[in-house]
Amino acid sequence: MRLLKYSFLLLFIVACNSPKAFYDYDQQVNFNQYETYSLFPDLQTGLSQLDESRLVNSLNQAMTEEGLINSGNPGIYVNVYTKEFQQDNRNRVGVGIGGGGGNVGVGVSGGIPIGQMDTYLELTFDFIDVEKDVLVWQAVVESSFNANAKPEARQEKFDKIVAKALEGYPPKK
């Protein structure tokens, strides 16, 4: 029974920390036609230069694993942009005051937040048909992000984010 409790706790912790992805694509497009890609010429991710380099490294490696070739004459452009936001997932300490007499009771309570707010990144991956200049596939990935993490941990986080984004490419019709 104890092992079952710890298994559920571990599963809960892992599930909360993994990136979440949402996909959309043009149903009329044959994705098998795309064999080459290139990063969007005016790529502005919104990340620091070091984090952008980590992201591009992860993206190039994952695209190669998908069988796509980085080319000067691409079939699709890959554009990535980010949005950082904070979410209040903090624990709280409850404080309450109460009193009463007879059959009447009155109470007031409140919560005091402990710790700091969690930082999240939302990365949007756009695949744009170069010839038609239209968006054909998109993934939006939300993930927690520690801005104070070591470089190795940051690279590992971008590897996970890109892997999650490309799970939906090419789309299964």
CB 103 within 8 A of CB 131: no
The pLDDT of residue 172 is 83
Task: Read off φ and ψ for residue 65, nearest 5 degrees.
Answer: -65, -30
Does 14 score more than 60 pLDDT?
Answer: no
Phi-psi region of 40 (alpha: psi -120 to 50; beta: other; left: phi over 0): beta
Task: Read off φ and ψ for residue 49, nearest 5 degrees.
Answer: -60, -40
Work out how many domains the chain is built from and give that number.
Answer: 1
Query: CA geometry: angle at 103 spanning 99 and 105, to 5°?
Result: 25
pTM of the entire predicted model: 0.74
pLDDT in tens, 20-61: 999 999 999 999 999 999 999 998 999 999 999 999 999 999
Buried b (16+ CB within 10 A) or exposed e, 124-148: bbbbbbeeeeeebbbbbbbbebeee
In a domain, 8, yes or no: no
In a domain, 66, yes or no: yes
- Angle separating helix axes 151-166 and 49-65, nearest 10 degrees: 40
Average pLDDT value for residue range 119-147: 94
The amino acid at 111: G
pLDDT band at 88 (very low <50, low <70, confident <90, very high): low
- Measured CA to CA, the distance from residue 20 to residue 54 in angstroms comes to 20
In a domain, 106, yes or no: no
In a domain, 82, yes or no: yes
At 133, which CATH number?
Answer: 3.30.160.670
For 27, the domain range is: 20-88+113-166
In a domain, 3, yes or no: no
Which SS3 state, helix, strand or coil, does residue 87 take? strand
CB 46 within 8 A of CB 88: no
The pLDDT of residue 16 is 52
In a domain, 13, yes or no: no
- Measured CA to CA, the distance from residue 138 to residue 136 in angstroms comes to 7
Mean pLDDT of the chain: 84
In a domain, 172, yes or no: no
CB 156 within 8 A of CB 140: no
